[in-house]
Structure 1
Amino acid sequence: MNTNLTQKLSKPIVEKVAIVGAGPGGLAAAIALRSQGIDVQVYEKAQEFRPAGTGLGLAPNGLSSLDAMPTAGCANAPGIVETLKSSGCEVHHTVLKNIQGETLRTNATKYLENYGQPLLTIWWYRLQQVLASRLPSEIIHLNHRCIGFEQDENGVEIHFDGEKSVYADLLIGADGVNSIIRETLFGEGKPNYIGSMCWRAVIKYHHELFNDYELVFVKGNQQFMYILNVGGGYTSWISRKFSPEYSLSHSADEVKFRILHELADWDESFRAVVEATPAEQIWEGPICDRPPLTQWSQGRVTLLGDAAHPMAPAMGQGANTTFEDAYELRECFSDSANLQEALTSYEQRRIERTKIIQARSALGEMRYYDLDTVASTGQTQQRQMTLNDDFHKWLYDFKPSAIS
């Protein structure tokens, strides 16, 4: 065995890592790297963790990645995935409805049967809380808004509001689609609006359709709605509408009036969940992504999750690919003799895969609105279904080596 390999097996290739962003990606990366004995510190601009975010789907590829991560200091605790299952809702049955409430199609999911993990719906806030519970509270630093960084060959100095600075061997930007770390590295400006406006909320509410289904999809005219059972008696509703231009409402009451106006012709069972939502809890905003990067790292700085590969939510892969990132970054640290080798390997493992998923997600968002350019001949549809089956197997069958 060569000297470099012996050294990297006995000692982490870096001692201290700073992660900017305490969303699910930043927390998962912290869990993954702490399991290798690395001193990880997480910095978050929010002043407190508070109920926020949407309902999302954790697919087999994301759950398998989380399942493969050892948790330092939590040897007797249930696995992360088991805890998430008890915090969210396993999806067994889904239904497609039209805006009049008529059933167009029902489906029994086969994720567990085909890929070894279920489809799990969960509130973003609950996901964040589960991941944060696997870390010592003292390594998560709230009220730290990153405003930039400087690096040299020996380390990175990260600057925060209030003239606060910290020093680390590596900086990981897990700070989302509007990442200050990515902007400092590559200077791209604002993300791209992709023509899809969104309204969403999570509230304590039991929808009548949850007696038979865990996930409801309602298809309108260039507009659609998801109603998700996210566990614990909570419902997540998400409505998106095709809109080449976007504008934001001026007040919470205007937001609620606007979305109810958009749903004016929809069945009352769909409008009711919006009516039951306090106006100040409804989030309104544009759906954005960014073009794929050819590199995620410079020197001692790298990106992860939405900071690296923000994508349209059509395939529900934002969080799932982020957990793949965290797992793969851990593996690259374990298998490499130095930091540069680890970051190069990380990019080689991740960029091409996420580039494909980004492209398919953008295409999928437009297909929600029947705006794709694929001809609707029977032969073309059959070929598309075969391609989709192959793609879904490639996507969901991601198997981390630790559990394969």
Structure 2
Amino acid sequence: MENFNFEKNSQEPNKGKRVAIIGAGPGGLSAGIALQQEGFDVKIFERHKQTKALGGAIILNAIGINILRSYGIKTDDMATTAIQRFRRFDGHQRVLQQFDSSLLNKANVSGWMAGLMRSELYERLLNKIPDDMIVNNHDFISYEEGSEGINILFEGGKSYTADLLIGADGVNSLVRQQLWGKSELQHLGIAVWLGWSEVEGLNRNEIVLNHSDIFQFGYAPLVFKGKNCFEWWFVEPCGENQPEPNDPLSYIRDRLKNFAEPVPEILNATKPQNLFRWLIKYREPLNAWSKGRVTIIGDAAHPTSPYAAYGAGMAIEDGYFLGKYLQGLDLSDVTVIQTGLGKYDNQRVKYTNHVVDFARTLGKIFHNAPKPVRILRDFLLDFTKIPERNIVKNSIEEAESLLKTVLDLEKGNQLSPLTEAEYEEDKSVKF
């Protein structure tokens, strides 16, 4: 939207309902849909001239699928999987993850995870966004809180007055910086390559993660434009300033030359233009996201590594729960806002911090651990159930509990914040 008239941003008619979101990524779009469903007057400000997807494929779990369904978005054509396997590079199975089939039935999904192209996710979200909700080509500068609302400043001298500001502006969030101060963006020491290819004949009911000493290659089924495909990711240790190779596919094939099928088959079917590389960055976690009339969601709040495989999914969850906790509130009263946002923080902060911490731990263990630690790691993976128990505990149990919460909400049950007692003191991974 290019012609938004800031001078006609009338304060009185919609006072108490005005929400401004900075950033039109998955989290911003999810929050926009969720808050509009609750009757709020929402504007999403995006710095780019067009709102479009960046990157390749993503994975959503049953939580995200049910949230999209609650938005009226089609999900029954997604390629879902019920099993996740950790394998050694030569095909030997190390860990098997399975999910509660009765819970999946209640959630009306055939599997826990589903592959989806980021471009298709954006298209589906944008189809639920009114044309006048997104304001493109507006660079956020800062905000000023007052008793009557929050004034948001943009490049070019433009401004907008709202009752609530949501920072969905990514890992380099300026909203987070003003709200909570500067924090160093740190390099995790790994890079992830994301690709996809058209492949037939492989098992399409599982996600597989293959590990060598320092490399991971994972793959998951994907339906893209009606064709059976696989999305894949290659994770490697990487220096912060390490340049990209001239021939990425040859580079990846060389590092995975000892990996068993179907890894070579999937790589050989990949076209160079269907490949993206990301250096993984993170910030130290926050103990709260919200203050006054401002909160943050998505990567602005919890940037994560590929081991969570769920950055976009958690951002969608953030937007959904924010809408639920602000339901029916008069946002003209800052104390009312703080009550709603406090419940939102209590629901989301510890959960996402745990997911991010677990992902960082796995990234270090699989890609940056000293050789003696790697030897012990592989012994435990190959000959004990200790890693499997830890992975199940840290990546399945809480997620299944969160899915139950979403299902209850969609049945019309009352939402209550998670209590401190529902979180264990020590969530660390011990291999």
Fold match, TM over 0.5? yes
1:145–1:14: structure 2 CA closer, same or farther, 3 Å change rule?
A: same
Partner amino acid, structure 2, of 1:402: L
Tell me how far apart the structure 2 counterparts of residues 63 and 268 of structure 1 sit (CA, whole Å): 30
Contact 2:281 2:304 in 1 (8 A): yes
Coordinate RMSD, CA, aligned = 3.3
Which segments of 5 or more consecutive residues in structure 2 lack a partner in the other structure?
1-12, 331-335, 412-431
Structure 1 unaligned segments of length 5 or more: list them: 1-10, 72-78
Residues 192, 306 of structure 2: 8 Å contact kept: no
**How far apart are the structure 2 equivalents of 1:167 and 1:12?**
11
CA separation of 1:235/1:190 partners in 2, compared to 1, >3 Å: closer, same or farther?
A: farther
**2:185 corresponds to:** 191
Instruction: Tell me, yes or no, if the aligned pair for 1:248 and 1:284 is still in contact at 8 Å.
Output: no
Do 1:222 and 1:370's aligned partners in 2 also have CA atoms closer than 8 Å?
yes
Deviations 1:265-286 (A, max 9, x none): 4458534544554545432221
Measure the CA separation in 2 of the matches of 1:284 and 1:348: 34
Are 1:91 and 2:81 an aligned pair?
yes
Say yes or no: does 1:130 pair with 2:134: no
The residue aligned with 2:281 is: 288
SS in 1 for 2:357: helix
- Which residue identity lines up with residue 91 of structure 1 in the other structure? T
Is the 1:335–1:342 Cα contact (8 Å) retained in structure 2?
no
Alignment of 1:217 with 2:209, yes or no, is yes
| Residue from 42, 47, 50 that aligns with 1:40 | 42
Work out which of the residue numbers 388, 392, 400 in structure 2 matches 1:396.
Answer: 400
Work out whether residues 305 and 360 of structure 2, in 8 Å CA contact, stay in contact via their aligned partners in 1: yes
CA contact (8 A) 1:22 1:42 kept: yes
Q: Which position in structure 1 is the counterpart of 2:293?
A: 300
Q: Deviations over 1:219-240 (max 9, x none)?
A: 2221011222221224322100
Among 99, 109, 112, the residue aligned to 1:110: 99
Residue identity opposite 2:363 in structure 1: E
Q: Quick check: 1:346 aligned with 2:353?
A: no
- Secondary structure of the 1:397 match is helix
3-state SS in 2 of match to 1:363: helix
CA distance change for structure 1 residues 180 and 370 in 2, over 3 Å: closer, same or farther?
closer
Distance 2:34 2:367 in 1: 38
Instruction: Give yes or no for contact 2:380–2:386 (8 Å, CA) kept in 1.
Output: no
In structure 2, do the counterparts of structure 1 residues 161 and 85 end up closer, same or farther at CA, with 3 Å as the change threshold?
farther
Q: Pick the aligned partner of 1:315 from 305, 308, 314.
A: 308
- In structure 2, what residue type is equivalent to 1:57? I
Residues 250 and 370 (structure 1), Cα distance of their counterparts in 2 relative to 1, 3 Å cut: closer
Mapped to 1, the partners of 2:33 and 2:61 lie a distance apart of 20
Structure 1 Cα separation of the partners of residues 14 and 53 of structure 2: 36
Query: What is the letter of the counterpart of residue 296 of structure 1?
Result: W
Summarize the alignment of residues 159-308 of structure 1 with structure 2, pairs less than 5 Å apart: 159-203=153-197, 205-210=198-203, 212-232=204-224, 233=227, 234-243=229-238, 245-249=239-243, 253-266=246-259, 269-271=262-264, 273-274=266-267, 276-308=269-301
* Amino acid of the structure 1 residue aligned with 2:81: V
Q: 1:48 to 1:263 in 2, by over 3 A?
A: farther
Q: For residues 85-107 of structure 1, what are the alpha-carbon distances to aligned partners after superposition, in whole Å with 9 as ceiling and x for unaligned?
A: 31x2111455555545x464796
The total of aligned residue pairs comes to 376
Normalised to the residue count of structure 1, the TM-score between the two structures is 0.80
Q: What's the secondary structure of 1:309's corresponding residue? A: coil
